[in-house]
Structure 1
Amino acid sequence: MEGMRYVVEVEKAREATQGKPSMGPVYRGKYQNDSTTPPIDVLNSCWDIFRSAYEKFPTNAMLGTREIENAKAGKYKWQTYKEVYEVIQKVGSSIRSCGYGQGVKCGIYGANCPGWIISMEACNAHGLYCVPLYDTLGAGAVEFIICHAEISIAFVEEKKIPELLKTFPNASKFLKTLVSFGKFTPEQKQQVENLGVKSYSWDEFLQVGENQNFDLPVIKKSDICTIMYTSGTTGDPKGVLLSNESVLIAVSAILQFLSSCKHSLRNKEVYISYLPLAHIFDRVIEEAMIYVGASIGFWRGDARLLLEDVAELKPTIFCAVPRVLERVYSGLQNKISAGGKLNNLMNGVGIEDAAPLFDKLIKQSLGGRVRILLSGGAPLAKHVELFLRVVTCSLVIQGYGLTETGAASFAQLLNNFDMLGTVGVPLPYVDACLESVPDMGYDALASTPRGEVCIRGGTLCSGYHKREDLTNEAIIDGWFHTGDIGEWQPNGNLKIIDRKKNIFKLSQGEYVAVEHLENVYGQSSVLESIWVYGSSFEAYLVAVINPKKDALERWAEENNITKDYNSLCEDPKAKAYVLAELVNTAKAKKLKGFEFIKAIHLDPVPFDQDRDLITPTFKKKRPQMHKYYKNNIDEMYKSINNKTSA
């Protein structure tokens, strides 16, 4: 394509051959065409990231939490890099004293806190595989990960201990040592010890390896440092194997990208840690913060109190998923709508009045010092992105990546408004191309190139733990196939437009396997067929349903409602009845909360070929269904939003 000023072509396109689809040209970000050696290439492991920061910035504040006095949160109390180093040494010695060394799997289950980072760094130092578990995971997923990864020792948040104990006795086949970031009750200690599992409070564990010294193992860049389990979609979670090198290069990519944009990270940065460290997005960002000697302040773990923590911490770097930024946007809009000077501003007050008014709002909302605002995990709505760019006086950067690509794959160039609604350009050390998907009509060689986004580079994972079949399916000839459909824009930006498979992500980052859900809900006795819809701009699922005529009419008769079938499909009480039946099905099948359908539209006319909604083999034509039912979808989300805001 001509005029792609933000990227450069490094390899020519490839025509379809021997059953392989065609691939478009390979591109790199223009600013990194002649990428130099990664800035942290002298380091060999994730432990070296922390060690080098400790050596350079021993007295810098590193980890902070709010002091609680009389049930009230006060100021942040900090541990320096030197103090954190000393605790890591104790934790590492205790791990080794328990008999665990290089290659052993260590789980961390809980919300972000200083103990989380300290435990991770102890694993990094002694060559254990760190296996993080989202604090939102239930016992079933936790048990699967413990057994699949063969976790021997786990650190756990005190309030998550009851959930973890539900995984016993099966988990005790592998899990032999438990360490609480707080304490265990006597009953909990007795329960695990009856199964041959040792348990320690945090303070107790720090004493286990006292006065013992262990040499650190030699760790290579190619060694695995963490196994990150992605949320299961059509089946069990997949364990993504990330090497020290992939994390080091991902951190390097972020550092070089910001440096090339004249906004290098500094050791005076302050970062709010609230996005889960079990997710690659926050893990890589926090590694970058540690490398430059920045300060990381932790939230209290309550979403309702997040902005209070932010106001007290006053971060300079703020990372968020779209759902959080949408709440900030809504809050600002509400204040504008309330009237006064801000309302006048939006209706024509001079721009010279904008800065002080919005500056005051942002100081209240984000602490007043945010200079870089990073959004990832799902697409950020264009109007929210534009609004935040204008009013926050911050650099708003939307990025794109996956756990398998080390998070750092694409990002928007700073202050480029023509990148709105896109994920930007490839980051340093990343090559990208599109592969044609003929079955979906996407051609990577067309004048407007569209196809599956494929990524190559040093940030890629080493594969999936114990799943060579999935590894070979996803990584072909060095290219990771993301499953996302992208479209190159004329200037070289990439826009994500579709999914190769019928799997999508909601606005809070949860993956939804829509065909699986349709099969589950299809077992309900009140419907003939169902089309489930969701998008990465919405937090909830909705559905269009063809009800079973006899079931709906029987319900109407039992409730003394005299309407014909078509009229029943428009009746609010009938909709409530069908939705309640779907909720009962969801509960019976133990679906996750985000998999529950929140609103429905009843269509008395079966999905048919006449309206181009299904194929001759009765497969749903999802793009056409979205187009046909768009007004109904908009009404459903409007009703949901009205209820949630009431």
Structure 2
Amino acid sequence: MSLSSVLLYAARHSTKLTALPTAVKCLPHRAALSSVTALNTSPDRNIVDLSQQSIVLPGPERIRVTSYINETCYKPSQFYSEVSTVYDAFKRGQKLSNDGNFLGARTGPNRSYEWMTYSQVGEKARLFGSGLLAHGNQPGSCVGIFSQNRPEWTISDLACVHYSLISVPLYNSLGWESCRYIVNKTLMSTLIVDNVDKATSIIDHADAMPSLRVVVVMDLDDEGTSDIRQRYASQSIELCSFEEVVRHGAQNPSDVILPSPNDINTICFTSGTTGLPKGVPLSHKNHIANHAAIFCTYQDHELTDPNDVHLSLLPCPHVYERGNIYNIMITGVQIGYFSGDMLKLVEDAQELRPTVFTAVPRLYNRLFDRIRTSVDNGSAIKKAVFNYALNQKMKDLEQGTLSRDTIWDKLVFKKIQDILGGRIRQLYTGGAPISGEVITFLRCAFGCMFVQAYGQTETTSCISHTLPCDMTNGHIGPPGAGMEVKLVDVPELDYYAADNKGEICVKGENVFDGYLDNPELTAEAIDDDGWMHSGDIGEWTETGTLKLIDRKKHIFKMAQGVYIAPEKIENTLVRNPLIQQVFVYGDSTKANLVGIVVPDPESFPAFAAKAGVKGSFSEICQNEKAKDALLAWLQEYGRRKGLLGFEEMKDIRLHDEPFTEQNGLLTPSLKNKRPDIAKAFGDEIRDMYTTLE
């Protein structure tokens, strides 16, 4: 079919092929809170004026709350009256699912998803929890979980919930110094891991963890494990398989010991970017309030079909994914875990066919870049059709309409939708800023809501989130329901609350009470009036939404007296398709910034070839001419994106291996671990400053 024929056919069929269930109309200003079911919303339900999404409370502090306010949602501690703990959330999901599928993973030779029902998960959690008690744990004891995402992770967590134990997640990227610190800090006696390699590493460090008495391995059988069992026995530590603990629980059954809302559910240790991790105790009340903060403004998007599926991709130890799992669980739908290999993520998604997908901006950016590169490298006709289709979908967005049943979806966007299985209805992101261009593209391509959330471990995830019907970009939405947010002056960075700019401070039922056994850090985070200081710099927009503009925590002062926020520069530059990652460094005794850049292995070789440099990716990264060409391009790109002269890197070094959790250069939320990267590339940094002098 020719281009003219395609456009003519599309023009004649440009209306929606079907109005339901995938077309969603959101009024531009006075809008019901999204989805098809919102069309049947009762007339007395409060609705959000998208031109005024938050309101200012009386008083000099300029405190803002969501404008979606009624008796349920102004200061909610729980959204459902029958749900006040995570245990209640599980039981509600079990009832709603009619004992449908709950947890799934790819197993067996054909690598299809195999499922456990809610009742099967509940029974296994009860038996495993009984087994934990049989191995000496008591209500209030800390139980460690050191594993990749998989059903046993959630079963272990729910076992703790069933018996008022405290789950303590550990991250792969923590390193053994931090792991030892966490075990000792919590007096942990039981640690659950996923594989024998971790169990071997633990016994290598057992002398430094005197409280440890039991290690449970999810993947442990009798073959080839006699040596490690002997090593554990010699240290007076019991080594058990996951199923052995389940059997011990069956032999020594205990009645469930239900938690109260104020009981600690978990202690999340933030890996942070400096020093030892900080323990953040979060209660059941915190988690349920976090759910309420989101669902008050998302209730018309609540998943009600047991066939809905969430793809669990983000790390389970991270409070964001834990919140996702709890919020999915409370609705009685399914959770399928990715296989653990990011290279197989697309394969996982196409096998699972999720309806809900949550990821960090970095993944969405890569998806966007790959699609745009593919389009730009295609024929002129295909590129013209694609861009025309995208423009038509963008016009729909401007009218507040989301759909995946237009002719453009059939002709152009179906292949993109099929990348993630073809059934996506909800996309979420958090953890870092994401460009409006990417958000708009994904809304058009997938024809579904795209929600950006902002929060921290200390707030059990949610501080604010965009509303499903708001098609504008460049902000992170109004405060979550029940959250109070204010901005306070940061004079050293020239931000003042009177100008609607300042450090974001938060109050709410989902905010933690303080760091574990650390009153000094608690006093830094929570002031005398109970406000938690986030360390992020925000700005209120004209529509009452919050916009992240800077960071207070990671700033440094250069020799000429200017303050630098490196994350702001990195978030700007990483949108360049030639680079995969960037680390900006500044020495306070110097006047210039330098950086470490991981180029994109697909696009950078072609760029280097235009500069006359060819070879393997590693060889190109070591080439001075290629480096200089990329530096010049990044400087020009930064100027076009609004970076100032003193925010420009004056020298860089290229690195052909990405920063990862595994090599200790990224946090679990995929942020740069600044001291670790600076240490790892210390020689290169010194060399750059020597060259600049």
Q: TM-score range by the shorter chain?
A: 0.7 to 0.9
Unaligned segments of structure 2, at least 5 residues: 1-48, 393-405, 559-563, 575-580, 591-617, 633-641, 660-693
Contact 2:307 2:334 in 1 (8 A): yes
1:270 matches 2:321: no
Query: Hey, what does 1:459 align to over in structure 2?
Result: 510
Deviation, 1:391, is 1.5
Compared CA separation, residues 344 and 499, structure 1 to 2 (3 A): same
1:405 matches 2:459: yes
User: Structure 1: how far apart are the matches of 2:307 and 2:530?
Assistant: 38
User: Structure 2: how far apart are the matches of 1:232 and 1:221?
Assistant: 28
Query: Hey, what does 2:336 align to over in structure 1?
Result: 297
Aligned residues: 533
User: Structure 2: how far apart are the matches of 1:151 and 1:372?
Assistant: 38
Residues 141-150 or 404-413, more deviating: 141-150
2:58 corresponds to which of 4, 7, 11: 11
1:40 corresponds to which of 62, 65, 80: 80
Deviation, 1:626, is 6.1
Contact 2:463 2:483 in 1 (8 A): yes
Query: Hey, what does 2:200 align to over in structure 1?
Result: 162
Deviation, 1:337, is 2.0
Deviation, 1:600, is 11
Contact 1:531 1:543 in 2 (8 A): no
1:151 corresponds to which of 174, 183, 188: 188
1:209 matches 2:252: no
Q: Please list the CA deviations of residues 509-542 of structure 1 after superposition, one character each: whole Å capped at 9, or x if unmatched.
A: xxxxx79xx9xxxxxxxxxxx9977534533314
Query: Hey, what does 2:12 align to over in structure 1?
Result: none
Counterpart code for 1:292: T
1:120 matches 2:173: no
Compared CA separation, residues 162 and 641, structure 1 to 2 (3 A): closer
Compared CA separation, residues 636 and 246, structure 1 to 2 (3 A): same
Deviation, 1:546, is 11
User: Structure 2: how far apart are the matches of 1:127 and 1:396?
Assistant: 36
1:254 matches 2:267: no
Q: Secondary structure at the match of 1:151?
A: coil
User: Structure 2: how far apart are the matches of 1:642 and 1:95?
Assistant: 41
Counterpart code for 2:118: Y
Q: Please list the CA deviations of residues 239-294 of structure 1 after superposition, one character each: whole Å capped at 9, or x if unmatched.
A: 001011000111122222211xx322223320111110100111001101111111
Query: Hey, what does 1:140 align to over in structure 2?
Result: 177
Counterpart code for 1:204: E
Query: Hey, what does 1:486 align to over in structure 2?
Result: 538
Alignment of 1:195-594 (within 5 A): 195-259=235-299, 262-266=300-304, 267-340=306-379, 342-348=382-388, 351=392, 354-418=408-472, 420-446=473-499, 449-476=500-527, 477-502=529-554, 535-536=570-571, 538=574, 539-543=581-585
Compared CA separation, residues 47 and 361, structure 1 to 2 (3 A): same
Query: Hey, what does 1:564 align to over in structure 2?
Result: none
Deviation, 1:208, is 1.3
Deviation, 1:219, is 2.1
User: Structure 2: how far apart are the matches of 1:132 and 1:42?
Assistant: 27
1:627 corresponds to which of 633, 644, 660: 644
Residues 531-540 or 265-274, more deviating: 531-540
Q: Secondary structure at the match of 2:167?
A: strand
Counterpart code for 1:11: P
Q: Secondary structure at the match of 2:246?
A: helix
User: Structure 1: how far apart are the matches of 2:658 and 2:490?
Assistant: 40
Compared CA separation, residues 138 and 599, structure 1 to 2 (3 A): farther
Root-mean-square deviation (CA, aligned residues, Å) is 3.3
Q: Secondary structure at the match of 1:101?
A: coil
Compared CA separation, residues 74 and 215, structure 1 to 2 (3 A): closer
Deviation, 1:100, is 0.7
Q: Please list the CA deviations of residues 69-99 of structure 1 after superposition, one character each: whole Å capped at 9, or x if unmatched.
A: 1xxx432111111111111111011011112
User: Structure 2: how far apart are the matches of 1:545 and 1:237?
Assistant: 25
Residues 192-201 or 282-291, more deviating: 192-201
TM-score by length of 1: 0.76
User: Structure 2: how far apart are the matches of 1:304 and 1:450?
Assistant: 41
Compared CA separation, residues 641 and 414, structure 1 to 2 (3 A): farther
Identity of aligned residues (%): 30
Compared CA separation, residues 445 and 641, structure 1 to 2 (3 A): farther
Q: Please list the CA deviations of residues 150-200 of structure 1 after superposition, one character each: whole Å capped at 9, or x if unmatched.
A: 2111110114333333432112x1111110111162222222221111110
Contact 1:64 1:114 in 2 (8 A): yes
User: Structure 2: how far apart are the matches of 1:600 and 1:152?
Assistant: 52
Query: Hey, what does 1:177 align to over in structure 2?
Result: 214
Contact 2:386 2:412 in 1 (8 A): no
Structure with higher RCO (Cα < 8 A, 6+ apart): 2
Compared CA separation, residues 363 and 630, structure 1 to 2 (3 A): same
User: Structure 1: how far apart are the matches of 2:412 and 2:167?
Assistant: 42
User: Structure 1: how far apart are the matches of 2:143 and 2:628?
Assistant: 38
Unaligned segments of structure 1, at least 5 residues: 15-24, 504-513, 519-529, 549-575, 581-596, 603-624
Counterpart code for 2:436: K
Counterpart code for 2:519: E
Q: Please list the CA deviations of residues 557-576 of structure 1 after superposition, one character each: whole Å capped at 9, or x if unmatched.
A: xxxxxxxxxxxxxxxxxxx9
User: Structure 2: how far apart are the matches of 1:221 and 1:89?
Assistant: 20
User: Structure 2: how far apart are the matches of 1:329 and 1:347?
Assistant: 14
Q: Secondary structure at the match of 1:54?
A: helix
User: Structure 2: how far apart are the matches of 1:282 and 1:316?
Assistant: 16
Deviation, 1:598, is 13
Compared CA separation, residues 278 and 598, structure 1 to 2 (3 A): farther
Q: Please list the CA deviations of residues 463-502 of structure 1 after superposition, one character each: whole Å capped at 9, or x if unmatched.
A: 1011111112211212111010100011111111111222
Q: Please list the CA deviations of residues 351-402 of structure 1 after superposition, one character each: whole Å capped at 9, or x if unmatched.
A: 4753223432233311111111000011112221121122121111111000
User: Structure 2: how far apart are the matches of 1:426 and 1:496?
Assistant: 13
Compared CA separation, residues 138 and 631, structure 1 to 2 (3 A): closer
Q: Secondary structure at the match of 1:491?
A: coil
Q: Secondary structure at the match of 1:200?
A: strand
Contact 1:545 1:601 in 2 (8 A): no
